[in-house]
Homo-oligomer: A and B are copies of this chain.
Amino acid sequence: MHPQILLADDHSMIRKGLKLYLQLNLGYADIREADSCNTLMNELVKRKFSHLILDIILSDGSTLEVIPNIRRVYPDLHIMIFSMQPADIYGEAVKQFGINYYLSKTAGEDEIILALRKFIENEAPLIKNSMPGIENPFKTLAPRELEILHYVLKGIGTKEIAESLNLKMNTVSTIKSRIYEKTNAGNIKELLELATLYNVNY
C-alpha cells in the first residue's frame, strides 16, 4: 500500500523541495502537484490520493474555503497543513475541520523531515495542545474571520473583499469589526503591527 501524495503550494520551489525530498530520501514516488485551489480540486477528482499536503494560501485564494468540501467528499484523505502561518493560530482554526497535522515552513529541517514521515506513515497527530502563556489575540479568530483578515492585511478594501468572497459589504464590515474587537486593534496600522508582532502574515 504505497501512499499517493498530492502537494498544493503556490511556490514552485516549495513543491520541488518537498517532492524531491519525499522521493529521494523517503522513497515515496507517487506524488502530484497543484498550485491553486482550482487545480487542487481538479487533481482530487482525477484520481485517488491517500495524503494531501497543502498551504493555506494558494494563488487563487485560501484553502480554508475548500477544505470543508474536501473533507466531506474524501473523509479518509489524510490532510496536513504546511504553512508559514503560526500553528497556534491557524492550527486551532483548522482543527475544526478535523485536521490534526500542522507543520510550519519555518521549522528546522530535521523537524520537517520527522513530521513528514510521521504524517505519511499515519502516526500520532502533530498539533500539540497549546501551552498556556501570552494570549495571542489572533488565536480567537474564527475561520471566516481569519480568511478576511488575510485580505485586510493585504490592504484590500471592504468592497473588493466582498466581491472576492461573494459576500455583501455589510457582512465583510461586520466581520472586520469583530476582528478589530478581538484583536483590540484600533485601525489598520495597529492591526498590521500586531500581525507582525505575532507573526501573522496573510
Q: Is the CB of B12 within 8 A of A14?
A: no
Stretch at the interface among A17-25, A70-78, A141-149, A161-169: A17-25
Q: Which of A149-202 contact B (CB under 8 A)?
A: 153-157, 186-190, 192
| A112 contacts chain B at the CB level, 8 A cutoff | yes
Q: Which of A113-162 contact B (CB under 8 A)?
A: 153-157
| A32 contacts chain B at the CB level, 8 A cutoff | no
| A15 contacts chain B at the CB level, 8 A cutoff | yes
Copies in the complex: 2
A14 contact set on B, CB distance < 8 A: 11, 13-14, 17
> Interface residues of A toward B: which range?
20 to 34
Question: Which of B106, B112, B189 has a CB less than 8 Å from the CB of A188?
Answer: B189
Chain A residues in the interface with B (C-beta under 8 A): 10-18, 20-21, 24, 59, 84, 105-109, 112, 153-157, 186-190, 192
In the complex, given contacts A12-B107, A16-B109, what are 16 additional A-B residue pairs having Cβ atoms less than 8 angstroms apart? A10-B106, A12-B108, A12-B109, A12-B112, A13-B14, A13-B112, A16-B16, A16-B18, A16-B20, A17-B18, A59-B106, A155-B187, A157-B187, A188-B189, A189-B192, A192-B192
